[in-house]
Chains A and B, each alone.
Chain A
Amino acid sequence: MTTLLLLLLPSMLFMAGVFALPLARYLWLSFHADSVMTGLVAIPNDGANWNRFLNDLRYWQDLGQTLRFAVASVTLELLLGLAIALLLNQPQRGRALIRTTSLIPWALPTTVMALGWRWIFNTPYGPVNRLFESVFGHSLNALGEPSLAWLTTVYADVWKTTPFVALILLAGLQTIPSDLYEAARLEGAGALTCLKKITLPLLLPYLGLALMFRMAQAFGVFDLIQVMTGGGPASSTESIALYAYWNALRFLDFGYSATIMIGSFIILTMMVAIAWVVIATARRRSVVGAPS
């Protein structure tokens, strides 16, 4: 037993150093003024950071924008990913080719393609604008319009992640025993009924898992936004991670940057907790519905 714990210890210590320690440090910093104005020395400030955080319209706007990005991109990724997974869930040739091409967007560094997207969505020289112009006759200011720019970031994220989500869901589909479908078909159920009664309930845990992981990742979106739009235009694509980054490295306000991060962590934890309850309920129901 002691040997076992000893073996576990180094890994746990490393994790504590990189997860627990920073959070504790943020919590402490969030009750201190530590900025260029204090000469980068931490001075207790009676929760002024938290007061500012709660009243910081910009933070809440960024949170809204981040959630908008997360919900839009994750929804699209799950829907498209599910459709692709269902269509691919048949034995076929060229599986390796599909796997490789699906993995490439996911495996490339985000910053590498973020630059590419800036060029592809460039007005007037990028291919998207050229295509748009030839069809509609006027130009598309994709990265310059606040109402459009965030959609381009969603597109970039969907491009990168959908094939990956499809692969995860495909793995889930392949755990569903085929005799379930055969039994259902014998009872005269159509394809749609099968999907609704068998596939979706059994796939739900996977969908839930993919949803939770992707949401958490999208919540922290940083690389893509920083390189592709820098948060603009009119701050319409700024995410909370980017705002925290500006506060630390551009405004030299570590106390407030730490407050943003610990505050966002609390918000995220609450959201994950809610999602967890929902998924757990769904899982229990699916287990009752069809034992596998």
Chain B
Amino acid sequence: MNWMKRTSSRFILVIVSIIASTVLGVSTLARQTDSVSILMPAPFADATAELVRSFNKEHKGRIHLDVIRGPLETESISDLAISSLLLGDTPFDGLLMDVTWVAKYAKAGWLAPLDAYFTDQDFASLAPGANEGNHAEGALQRWPLTSDLGLLYWRTDLMDEPPRTPKQLETISSRLQNSGQVPFGYVWQGRQYEGLSCVFLEMIDGFGGEWYEPQSGAIGLDGPAGIAAATWLQDLIATGISPRAVTNYSESESLQSFKSGNSAFMRNWPYAWAELQKDDSPVKGKVGITTMVAESNQPPAATIGSWGLSLLQGSHHPQSTIEAIKYLTNEQSQRYLFTNFGYTPTQAALYKDEQLTNAYPSLVAIGEALPYARPRPQTPLYAQMSDVLQRNLSSTLTGLTPPPAAMKQAQDTTEQVLIAAGATP
């Protein structure tokens, strides 16, 4: 028996040492660097390069963050992300998402809910408006990195005060145009693309309407406000306040026109401010920022165009990805992104930072506009709805269809899309 005992104890020893070595092996594996990758549009990838470097330095040996540089246009990066996700072998863990994708991606089941990773305190630190558009399917789906919103740029050398109503904008423009001070009054985004939907959202809200209300399913496109908004935009072109070519303008063309001093007003995002203050800018120091015009009994509206980071379902390193997301969106990173690249912060503290607001007066104006931030319809069908709207608006702006008919068409087609998708409540 004794020898048996001895062999068995030796046997146990062997087993224990095997187990021990496996466990140790596992733990050394666990100590290997987590490789995390996030897909971003080119400008964001370039802007965060420095942050990524310092993140990797701080987390050396634990996490290695890799930013994949995608195409620039929102549409093309969405196409790329979707085709990667459809192929099922997502080569990345995180995704920098536009506000309009959240509902769709969440419904498709591509995003991992983030509720467990963020505390009430985290939410409390967000600026008003920055919390819009991050939830879908009853869960937190992304964490905001930058809070873009649509603003009205005006020339401080041509008028004392910016217009508050659509009528005032027309009057001031006509006066300036008639006296030959500027060739055009107002430039905006009239091309058939997402920017046109943003322009329209601000106007339909400004006229007291609502594009789409997901809860009730009400569509307000051919309501009085919808028709008024479309008519107003079309009139701008018809009366020459906006150039005819505005029907092919995106942000860059509008900026080009306004920057060269060719127009008195421009609708654009906060990024334009830095561009207008450059030394080669003829309007340097002559530009003010305010919210979009609205009927006098209505609050103004500023379309949210924010970007935020999401964790993809099926990521191998969720915890490390969240660490990267938190790092890229913290106060310090946002300060860096704002001062170096003009990306509007989402942390409330930065708007109250006197050092920042003194150096960047535009931040104050943006902070004032934030409470009026309005999301575009938050539905998985947003892409279709926006496409329908753009199509019909473009048709009105190029003079093919009168505004009421175009909005009726937009209303009917939107209804069809919703019914076909089974989304009518």
The answer to whether any beta carbons of A and B sit under 8 Å apart in the complex is: yes
Residue numbers of A with Cβ under 8 A of B are 33, 35-37, 39-40, 48-49, 52, 55-58, 123, 141, 143-146, 232-235, 246, 249-253, 256
Which B residues touch A33, using CB under 8 A?
421-422
> Are A55's CB and B416's CB within 8 A?
yes
> Are A234's CB and B248's CB within 8 A?
no
> Are B191's CB and A232's CB within 8 A?
yes
Which A residues touch B416, using CB under 8 A?
52, 55-56
A-binding segment of B55-63, B178-186, B394-402:
B394-402
Interface check B82, CB cutoff 8 A: yes
> Are B79's CB and A250's CB within 8 A?
yes
> Are A234's CB and B395's CB within 8 A?
yes
Interface bits B94-108 vs A (CB < 8 Å: 1, else 0): 000000000010011
Closest to B103 in A: A36
**Contact of A235 with B192 at beta-carbon distance under 8 Å, contacts A35-B421, A37-B423, A144-B245 already known:** yes
Which residues in window 59-77 of B have CB below 8 A to A?
75
Which A residues touch B395, using CB under 8 A?
234-235
Which B residues touch A251, using CB under 8 A?
381, 383-384, 387
Residue among A40, A52, A57 making CB contact with B420, cutoff 8 Å: A52
> Are A233's CB and B107's CB within 8 A?
no
> Are A246's CB and B387's CB within 8 A?
yes
- Can you list 29 residue pairs at the A/B interface with Cβ under 8 Å? A33-B421, A33-B422, A35-B421, A36-B104, A36-B108, A37-B380, A37-B381, A37-B421, A37-B422, A39-B109, A40-B109, A58-B413, A141-B245, A141-B248, A143-B248, A145-B398, A232-B192, A232-B193, A233-B191, A234-B400, A249-B82, A249-B86, A250-B75, A250-B78, A251-B381, A251-B387, A252-B383, A253-B384, A256-B420
**Contact of A249 with B394 at beta-carbon distance under 8 Å, contacts A36-B380, A37-B380, A55-B416 already known:** no
Chain A: minimal CB distance from B169 (Å): 24
Interface check B83, CB cutoff 8 A: yes
Which of B193, B247, B413 lies at the interface centre, i.e. has the most chain A CB atoms within 10 A of its CB?
B247
What is the size, in residues, of chain B's interface with A at 8 Å between Cβ atoms? 32
Known: A58-B391, A249-B82, A253-B384. 7 other contacts (CB 8 A): A37-B380, A39-B108, A233-B248, A235-B192, A235-B391, A250-B79, A252-B383
> Are A146's CB and B108's CB within 8 A?
no
Which residues in window 380-425 of B have CB below 8 A to A?
380-381, 383-384, 387, 391, 394-395, 398, 400, 413, 416, 420-423
Chain B: minimal CB distance from A38 (Å): 8
> Are B104's CB and A233's CB within 8 A?
no
Bound-state CA distance A234–B394 (Å) is 5
In order of increasing CB-CB distance, the 3 nearest A-B pairs are: A144-B248, A234-B394, A232-B192
> Are A249's CB and B79's CB within 8 A?
yes
Interface bits B296-336 vs A (CB < 8 Å: 1, else 0): 00000000000000000000000000000000000000000
Bound-state CA distance A156–B395 (Å) is 24
Chain B: minimal CB distance from A56 (Å): 8
Bound-state CA distance A237–B413 (Å) is 19
Which A residues touch B193, using CB under 8 A?
232
Chain A: minimal CB distance from B64 (Å): 31
Which A residues touch B104, using CB under 8 A?
36, 252
Which B residues touch A143, using CB under 8 A?
248
Which A residues touch B79, using CB under 8 A?
249-250
Bound-state CA distance A62–B400 (Å) is 16
Closest to B423 in A: A37
Chain B: minimal CB distance from A287 (Å): 49
**Contact of A253 with B394 at beta-carbon distance under 8 Å, contacts A36-B104, A144-B247 already known:** no
Closest to B392 in A: A234
> Are A250's CB and B383's CB within 8 A?
yes
> Are B192's CB and A233's CB within 8 A?
yes
Which of B83, B104, B421, B423 lies at the interface centre, i.e. has the most chain A CB atoms within 10 A of its CB?
B421
Bound-state CA distance A36–B416 (Å) is 16
> Are A48's CB and B420's CB within 8 A?
yes
Chain A: minimal CB distance from B234 (Å): 13
Which B residues touch A123, using CB under 8 A?
245, 248
**Contact of A233 with B380 at beta-carbon distance under 8 Å, contacts A40-B108, A40-B109, A249-B79 already known:** no
**Contact of A36 with B420 at beta-carbon distance under 8 Å, contacts A233-B248, A250-B79 already known:** no
